[in-house]
Amino acid sequence: MYFYLFYKVYKFSEASPSRWLSDWKASLTIDVLEIFILISLVYYFDISSNYNSLLYIIYFFGICLPNYCFFHYKNQWRIYVKKFDKYSKRKNRIGGLIVWCLIFIIILNWLFSIYFMDLRARKNMTGPYSKEFTNRKGVPPLPRGVP
């Protein structure tokens, strides 16, 4: 499924007016979707962001390096494109529907996790809802009824 996701995003990039570096655009799209999933996990489980920059670099390479190895090392992406091009039209349509639904679900999950994080901040009175922040001059208080 991972390689088919690359294939569908690659084909979508090829159909756009700018066909320049479509393989890299597809790979970057997969990287962004993986980052959305990991950010959602951080928001859901309230993982502290007090990490040093070295951990962020390791995290970045943990996402980008596998994609490079899977797709760009020795232009392996061409093998996958040729393989999936041989699929029947019906099979490609069903696979495309599944891939685009998966992308849509990942983006919705990421948006919901942001909303969930905001609800938790309101409930715990942290972040922009803390008393220190709301008591500053020029910051309007929370409306009544907001937890």
pLDDT, tens digit (0-9, with 9 covering 90-100), for 80-106: 999 999 999 999 999 999 999 999 999
pLDDT at 49: 59
The CA distances from residue 51 to 48, 57, 61, in Å, are: 8, 11, 16
- Residue 117, both tokens: 């994080």
The 8-class DSSP code of residue 145 comes to: T
Residues 6+ apart with CB under 8 A from 33: 103, 106
What sign for the dihedral angle of Cα 107, 73, 14, 25? Answer: positive
| Residue 130 in this model has a pLDDT that exceeds 70 | yes
Distance of CA 43 to the CA centre of its chain: 13
> What pLDDT is recorded for position 143?
65
